[in-house]
């Protein structure tokens, strides 16, 4: 997603168009909602940035994938779930690649909201998520 596309994308995601996938260049998962808000604000419309960021965190950036260069190759290193709590963006680390150990960790489980959505969209995927969480003790 780039500048002028942001408003169209956010409107689609917040008006019942459930399910989408896009990429955004940001330093970390925590920066993504603010980065999208900044792009939406470029067209000069009078929008409340805090309200826009909340809507993006709740409806647009539900799950984030973070990539980084490891050994000269871009690799997936983190999967996080976005939540809006007490006026702040929080990212729940659901999966994190520990480079030193060469393995994936599952620090926190998905929220009930995310599990319900996974169950609705992909029941087989939900079973896989549960098995991975149990193996990790989450």
The predicted-structure confidence for 44-64, as pLDDT tens digits, reads as follows 777 788 888 888 888 787 889
Predicted local confidence at residue 76, as pLDDT: 93
Contact assessment for residue 91 and residue 80, using Cβ atoms and an 8 Å cutoff: yes
Q: Could you give the 3-state DSSP secondary structure of residue 4? A: coil
Report the predicted TM-score, pTM, of the whole model to 2 decimal places.
0.78
Residue 16 has pLDDT above 90, yes or no: no
> 101: which residues sit within 8 A by CB, 6+ positions away?
none
Predicted local confidence at residue 137, as pLDDT: 67
**CA gap 45, 6 in Å, rounded:** 13
pLDDT above 70 covers what percent of the chain? 93
What does the domain layout of the chain look like in residue ranges?
Answer: 5-104
């Amino acid at each position: 997603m780039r500048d002028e596309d942001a408003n169209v994308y956010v409107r689609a995601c917040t008006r019942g168009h459930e399910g989408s996938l896009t990429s955004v260049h940001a330093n970390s998962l925590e920066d993504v909602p603010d980065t999208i808000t900044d792009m939406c604000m470029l067209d000069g419309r009078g929008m409340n940035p805090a309200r826009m960021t909340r809507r993006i965190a709740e409806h647009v950036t539900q799950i984030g994938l973070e990539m980084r260069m490891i050994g000269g190759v871009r690799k997936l290193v983190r999967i996080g779930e976005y939540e809006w709590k007490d006026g702040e963006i929080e990212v729940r680390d659901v999966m994190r690649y520990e480079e030193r150990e060469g393995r994936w960790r599952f620090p926190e489980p998905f929220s009930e909201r995310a599990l319900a959505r996974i169950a609705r969209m992909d029941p087989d995927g939900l079973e896989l998520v549960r098995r991975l969480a149990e193996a990790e003790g989450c």
